[in-house]
Amino acid sequence: MATVQSEIPQFVDIAIVGAGPQALTVVTHLLQKKKSLRNRFAVIDPAGEWMQQWHHQFAALDIPHLRSPAVHHPDPDPHALRTFAESRPRELFPPYDLPGTQLFREFCQNVIGRWHLEDRVIPGFVKHIEIEQQSDRQQFRLLMATGKTLKARRVVLAIAGGTPHYPSWVQSTIAPRDRLLHSHNIDLRGLQLEGERVLIVGSGLTSGHLAVGAIARGAEVIMMARRQFYEKLFDADPGWLGPKYLKGFRAESHGEKRWQMIQSARNGGSLTPAILTQLRRLARSGKLTFYEHCQVKQAQWKGEAWQVHCENREVHDCIAHLPIDRLWLATGSQLDIQQWSVLSEVRETYPLPTLHGLPVLDEHLRWPGCELFIMGGAAALQLGPVARNLFGGRMASRRIVPALVKNTIARSSSSLSVAG
């Protein structure tokens, strides 16, 4: 159980907002580089402890192991997880030693303990960040939802920051709350689905986890996707973790072209080969039906069940005659930093260009003009398609930590062009 640091200090050198894996990664890298910073930073997260959102999503979707291999984790030593797992080889899953959920949880706990970070997360939700300019010095004032404040010279935002994406037909749909849910709000634990039919929309790994979980709880499942379900080991080709693809990405000075490279590298949602095999087996046993090249046109709640009309009837039998008990949307999330209310004043004081909702940061992932750094998916224009993943946390730390340690001043700007 984590010890919670309840008192908010009045001033810190570095405030890290968010306590997920990305924040943990930057903290371990920071301490590895400069131990003396130990008492000069604070981490703020509503949970008051590390990794709560991560653990919640794995438990709620009943995910047995990670999609990424054992070298991806928050400790600076890439081999640390393998060493930790030496006596637990069965918890590293093929084909590339994918860590089991419990193993990864205990490893992260071990990382937190080894770096003495147990009591470093202050409970709080940062609602707003203000900039205070005092002659030649600039500092930030972080306003918490509770009304408390924290002043900091530098800020690292590690808040992930995506919001659930809802297809347009949802807007005109009225239903009991638990009958239409985005994956973000689904918790498989405790659900009894005996005799129910669940329609899952989306083609990513989350749709696969939801289908397996719903069937294990007694449901019959229809998986619907605009495209064909397809398999891919990782979110993005491992070439994106090193120079193979990143060299060309970094050499590209046109923001729009970089954005397109990110889109085609991720190529929408995909299933892992293991899950797709499992789903095909369930389809053969009659518990699952795939509806590919198909999308919902309209869904009406008829009092006891959904009636769903879909596009592309010429490809499929319509499912309008099948009563659907639950509609689950595994339609991913969208990220637009223009919508981040926490940054409204920063945006006003230091306007910066964005592309498809992503900021154009400098090479240290710093908001040009001030000492605010952003990691996670929002740094994708600088880091590439894996920015939001565990490895993206490592890449971001390598950029941010030198600026925090050397105390460079925010004079640099991005060389990325956003002109059309």
| Region near ligand FAD per CB under 6 A, out of 48-56, 344-352, 354-362, 401-409 | 48-56
Amino acid at 145: A
By CB under 6 A, name the one of 21, 74, 255, 369 that touches ligand FAD: 21
What binding mask, one character per residue, do residues 284-323 give for ligand FAD by CB under 6 A, x or -?
A: ----------------------------------------
| Region near ligand FAD per CB under 6 A, out of 15-23, 296-304, 324-332, 355-363 | 15-23
Between strands 354-355 and 358-359, the pairing is: antiparallel
CB of 73 to ligand FAD, least distance (A): 9
Q: Is 203 in the site for ligand FAD (CB under 6 A)?
A: no
Query: How far is the C-alpha of 42 from the C-alpha of 35, rounded, in Å?
Result: 14
By CB under 6 A, name the one of 27, 70, 117, 159 that touches ligand FAD: 159
Tell me whether residue 166 or residue 169 sits nearer to ligand FAD (CB atom): 166
Tell me whether residue 61 or residue 361 sits nearer to ligand FAD (CB atom): 61
- Phi first, then psi, for residue 390 (nearest 5°) are -60, -40
Count other Cβ atoms within 10 Å, centred on residue 195.
9
Residues in binding contact with ligand FAD, number by CB under 6 A? 31
Count other Cβ atoms within 10 Å, centred on residue 87.
6
Query: How far is the C-alpha of 276 from the C-alpha of 213, rounded, in Å?
Result: 14
Query: How far is the C-alpha of 377 from the C-alpha of 335, rounded, in Å?
Result: 8
Instruction: Residue count of the chain, please give it.
Output: 420
Query: How far is the C-alpha of 405 from the C-alpha of 40, rounded, in Å?
Result: 12
Touching ligand FAD, residues 62-81 (CB under 6 A): 66-68, 72
By CB under 6 A, name the one of 4, 13, 40, 53 that touches ligand FAD: 53
Tell me whether residue 23 or residue 294 sits nearer to ligand FAD (CB atom): 23
| Region near ligand FAD per CB under 6 A, out of 13-21, 133-141, 171-179, 365-373 | 13-21
Tell me whether residue 156 or residue 294 sits nearer to ligand FAD (CB atom): 156
CB of 217 to ligand FAD, least distance (A): 18
- Closest C-alpha among 352, 345, 326 to residue 410: 352
Q: Which two tokens stand for residue 290?
A: 């795939």
Query: How far is the C-alpha of 220 from the C-alpha of 289, rounded, in Å?
Result: 8
By CB under 6 A, name the one of 5, 52, 101, 413 that touches ligand FAD: 52
Whether the CB-CB separation of 178 and 46 falls below 8 Å is answered with: no
Residue 132 CB burial class (10 angstroms; 0-12, 13-18, ≥19): exposed
Tell me whether residue 71 or residue 327 sits nearer to ligand FAD (CB atom): 71
- Phi first, then psi, for residue 222 (nearest 5°) are -115, 125
Count other Cβ atoms within 10 Å, centred on residue 308.
22
CB of 87 to ligand FAD, least distance (A): 22
By CB under 6 A, name the one of 26, 117, 152, 160 that touches ligand FAD: 160
By CB under 6 A, name the one of 71, 129, 158, 416 that touches ligand FAD: 158
Q: Is 101 in the site for ligand FAD (CB under 6 A)?
A: no
3-state secondary structure of 87: coil
User: Is the preceding omega at residue 64 within 30 degrees of 0, hence cis?
Assistant: no
- Please report, for the chain, how many H helices and E strands are present, in that order: 11, 20
CB of 19 to ligand FAD, least distance (A): 5
| Region near ligand FAD per CB under 6 A, out of 11-19, 164-172, 242-250, 402-410 | 11-19
Q: Is 17 in the site for ligand FAD (CB under 6 A)?
A: yes
CB of 330 to ligand FAD, least distance (A): 10
Q: Which two tokens stand for residue 334?
A: 């969208």
Query: How far is the C-alpha of 122 from the C-alpha of 222, rounded, in Å?
Result: 43
Q: Is 43 in the site for ligand FAD (CB under 6 A)?
A: no
Q: Which two tokens stand for residue 331?
A: 């339609």
Q: Which residues pair with 138 in a beta bridge?
A: 133
Q: Is 20 in the site for ligand FAD (CB under 6 A)?
A: yes
Touching ligand FAD, residues 364-403 (CB under 6 A): 376, 388-390
CB of 334 to ligand FAD, least distance (A): 14
Query: How far is the C-alpha of 23 from the C-alpha of 38, rounded, in Å?
Result: 15
Q: Which residues bind ligand FAD (CB under 6 A)?
A: 17-23, 44-47, 52-54, 57, 61, 66-68, 72, 125-126, 158-160, 206, 342, 376, 388-390
